[in-house]
Amino acid sequence: MRIDINAFFGHWPYWPLPHTSGDDTLRLMDEHGIDHAAITSLRGLHGDWREANAETLALATAHADRMTPIASISPMAGNVDQVLRAAAGAGFRGVRLYPLLLQGYSLQSAFANEVGRVAGELDLLVIVPTRPMMNFRFPTVAVEEIAALADRHPATSFLLSGPNYLSEFNGAIEAMHRCANLAFEVSCMQGFRAMERIVAAAGAERVLFGTGLPLQYPACNVAKLEHAALDTTTRAAVEAGNARRLLGLDSV
Amino acid sequence: MIIDGHAHVGSAQYLQIDMDLAGLLAVADEVGFDRIFVTDLTALFYDMREGNDRFGRLLAGHEDRVLGYVTIPTHRFGVAAADEIRRCVERYGMRGVKMYSHPQSPITETSSTPALEAAAELGLPVLGHFTPDECDVLMQRVPEAMIVMAHMAGQPYALGNWHLAVEVAARHPNLYLDTATSQIDNGMLEYAVEHVGAEKVLFGTDMPLLDPWVQQAKVTGAAIPAEAKQLILGGNVARLLRL
């Protein structure tokens, strides 16, 4: 079983993507041995989060055995408590935050803190990337900002996505040592033997496989996982077990 | 044959990496690389001559596996950089030139010309840590130089703009693209092959900074013909170096 915690479908305003539809995402999953994916419509990053959630839910419902929906949310949403309760009731298992880099709010804002608080009550995973993908055109959100949000909401599970190498990688490890409710998604991490190092430093139960497909080549992260020197138990946790636990996917 | 066209040996706090040649060759064996084209980190980030000499001495006995770059940390050596290239080719049989650059000392300063001209005269490829715009200027200034744009813009100074890298490479017959970068943007290899041809795309890993398995999968997993993958993974370097 392999679960991709960081998958998408849709369009990208910066360049045309070779794969855009839900069927494309399913095809990529099949080609790369990915059994299940936590998915979000890319519309939710820049466009209308309500439409994004509607199409994410529709796709995940149509392929319930292959996909789990992750919601988008915006400061424009108004009543965060109401929006997230409706999302959880509809079947979403997590919510993504794209603060300063794409959506213009701070992780210290009342909005972000309300998401953190309510997500904890609803057992929704909060995914916060430092960057939307590993491309140097995007400014990054500081790992410390994400860790501070996790610190303020210890009852909520957060997933840190986006760090790559050097200071980001080391900062992520320090943040995870400080915040027991912070886990790490690997799709942008490209350093040498980085998988082994993050697992050794943070613990196997806090590292999750992800690809960033279709923004990124899924083959790269599959290779990263398959060639990492991990024992069987650790590999199973990173590949699927941790995602299953954090998303509450008992049946997957 | 798989040739990693972009690898480093030695130690550098700047990049938090530390690997000797034996370690590098062990990784190459593990991943399945037949040859590695290597630049020395001491030469790159501290003392050009000390690093090139140290690395040059290591090359002896590894000629079947290791190809050496003469490393030029800054073009501001001017004519001395050209002399260093000739010295390392003559003494150690190095096969290419690695040049570093950053915005604080832009490679477009004319002091880069002697090194580029020397490399062109000797028929050596120049793996340049240059942006697409910089490459555009350099190729107009020294069109006979054979420049490989390190990271094909997938580095901070170039803002990750591989579309521009491809556009500029299409403009200059002697400008090539190196695939080594943290960026694994879906479609980047397909786009490059479509617009400049597989003959101008060269495989590199940037190991031991980056994960060689990830870098290799970027090429092997791309939706391009098998012949294109063979060229990128080794055929092009073999052709450029007449191996």
Q: Tell me the chain B residues in contact with residue A192 when contact means C-beta distances shorter than 8 Å.
A: 17, 207-212
Whole domain around residue A24: which residue ranges? 3-247
Which of B8, B155, B157, B214 best probes binding to A when mutated, by most A CB atoms within 10 angstroms?
Answer: B214
Q: 191-230 in B: which are within 8 Å (CB) of A? A: 207-214, 216-218, 220-223
Q: What percent of chain B has pLDDT over 90?
A: 98
Sheet holding B125-128, edge to edge: B17-19, B3-12, B35-40, B66-72, B96-99, B125-128, B146-149, B175-178, B201-202
B10-68 residue pLDDT tens? 999 888 899 999 999 999 999 999 999 999 999 999 999 999 999 999 999 999 999 99
Q: Tell me the chain A residues in contact with residue B158 when contact means C-beta distances shorter than 8 Å.
A: 136
Residue A16, domain member (yes or no)? yes
CA-to-CA distance for A6 and B16, rounded, in angstroms?
A: 28
Task: State the pLDDT at residue A102.
Answer: 75
Amino acid, res. B219: V
CA-to-CA distance for B45 and B48, rounded, in angstroms?
A: 8
Residue A174, domain member (yes or no)? yes
A82-95 residue pLDDT tens? 999 999 999 999 99
Residue A105, domain member (yes or no)? yes
B172-208 residue pLDDT tens? 999 999 999 999 999 999 999 999 999 999 999 999 9
Whether the CB of A232 is below 8 Å from some CB of chain B: the reply is no
CB pair distance less than 8 Å for B183 and A136? yes
Enter the ipTM: 0.96
Bridge partners of B176, per DSSP, are B148
Task: State the pLDDT at residue A106.
Answer: 94
Residue A32, domain member (yes or no)? yes
B102-128 residue pLDDT tens? 999 999 999 999 999 999 999 999 999
CATH number at A241 reads: 3.20.20.140
- Residue from the list A137, A192, A219 with its beta carbon closest to the beta carbon of B211: A192
**CB–CB of A89/A122 below 8 Å?**
no
Residue A101: band (very low, low, confident or very high) from pLDDT cuts 50, 70, 90: low
CB pair distance less than 8 Å for B221 and A215? no
Average pLDDT, whole number, for chain A? 96
Tell me which fold the domain B3-241 belongs to.
Answer: TIM Barrel (3.20.20)
Average pLDDT, whole number, for chain B? 97
Domain count, chain A: 1
A200-210 residue pLDDT tens? 999 999 999 99
**Distances in whole angstroms, Cα of residue A147 to Cα of each of A111, A156, A183, A224, B31:** 16, 12, 10, 25, 36
Q: Token pair for residue B119? A: 């490399």
Which of A25, A29, A190 best probes binding to B when mutated, by most B CB atoms within 10 angstroms?
Answer: A190
List the Cα angle B127/B128/B132 in 5-degree steps.
Answer: 125
Residue A252, domain member (yes or no)? no
Residue A250: band (very low, low, confident or very high) from pLDDT cuts 50, 70, 90: confident
Q: Which chain B residue's Cα is nearest to A19?
A: B186
Q: Residues A23-50: what's their mean pLDDT?
A: 97
Strands B3-12 and B17-19: antiparallel
Q: 180-219 in A: which are within 8 Å (CB) of B? A: 188, 190-195, 213-219
Task: State the pLDDT at residue B210.
Answer: 97
Q: How many Å lie between the alpha carbon of B151 and the closest alpha carbon of chain A?
A: 11
